[in-house]
Every structure is written in C-alpha cells, then in structure tokens.
Amino acid sequence: MRLFASLSPSEEAREHLVRALRPIRADLGTDLAWTDPEQWHLTLAFYGEQPDGAVDDLLAHLARTDARAMTLSLKGAGSFNRKNLWIGVGGETRELKRLMAECLLDPSESTRQRAHLTVARNRVRGRDWDPFLGDVVHALSVYEGPEFLADRIDLVRSTLGAGRSGGALHETVGSVSLGR
C-alpha cells in the first residue's frame, strides 16, 4: 500500500480556500485537474509502497516525534515546474519543518521537503500551462487563510485513480496526537 504522513487543515481553512479559488477555477478552464478539498492535506513525509504490516511500525515511528501541536495557516502560492498549483503554509513554520524532518525515514530527504497543499495539477501531460499560471501564482501570493490548530498526524493510504475524477483516494489508516 502507498502511504504518507500528513496534517489536515481545519474545515474553516478549507472552506476559506475554496471560496478564494472559486473565481480562479472558473477562469483556468479544463486543462487543470482540481484536487478534492476533502482530500487536501499537508504532506509531512511520503513513504511510497509499503507492505501491509508497515502501518503499525510507521505509527510507532510517528509517535516518537517530540513535536507539539502548532498554529498554522494556508498562505501564499506557487508552482513546481509549471505542472501544479499549490498553496503554501504560514504560522509556526519552524515547528512544522522540524516535524517534517522527524517524520522522514531517511533524514537525508529533508532538503527536498517544502510544506504545501496542492490544489490543481496540469491535466495535459508534457505541456506546461499557459502563461496565465504565473498571473494566478502572483495573485494568490497574498492569500492568507484563517489559522488552524494542527494537533494530529495522520498516516494515510493513497490509492491512485480511485478518487473523484480519477484522482487519488486518501484514506486515514491511523493517527498520532501531537503534544500541547
């Protein structure tokens, strides 16, 4: 099974972002595959394909983090290689970065981590989005949603192609509370 560790934004934070993206979604057309707001998350660590018995071991690994609950917000925007549109993170980002590093199985991977929430992907493989994407990223660079308390790490199974519109389906298989 394909697994990752994540934090989930609050319902209020998701709804705020849905409202902010509504006019942009209308303008960008059908070349974009918009992610399902119910599936939105901040990936802490991606574990890839794991055997069925790995869930308990990964939950034990996550329980050993000494991170505390933190106040975060969804803030700003960007794109990786003009292939997706993501929203960044504000608030207690030092604590978040430390938690992300602790969740990894291989600490050398921490240089590749960037906290973000993917809201859309390029639907047309091999083709960059038109120059409008730069305008969208620029417009969303000032976005800041409401604060939310991140107090739980979810271990999530991702099943590719099983979600709405052929995207991934994310199902929480276990959770670990963060200290106060």
Q: What does the mean pLDDT of the chain come to? A: 86
- Classify the phi-psi angles of 165: left when phi > 0, otherwise alpha if psi is within -120 to 50, otherwise beta: left
Task: Kindly report the CATH number assigned to the domain that includes residue 92.
Answer: 3.90.1140.10
Name the residue range of residue 49's domain. 2-177
Q: How many domains does the chain have?
A: 1
Annotation says 116 is catalytic: yes
Per DSSP, the residues of 29-81 read TTSEEEPPGGG--EEEEEEEE--TTHHHHHHHHHHT---B-EEEEEEEEE-ST
Compute the distance between CA of residue 139 and CA of residue 161 in angstroms, rounded to an integer.
31
How does pLDDT run across 8-61, given as a tens digit for each residue?
999 999 999 999 999 888 776 666 788 889 989 999 999 989 998 899 999 999
φ/ψ (deg, to 5) at 24: -70, -40
Catalytic annotation present for 170: no
Q: What is the pTM of this model?
A: 0.86
For position 29, what pLDDT does the model report?
61
Catalytic hit among 16, 41, 61, 170:
41
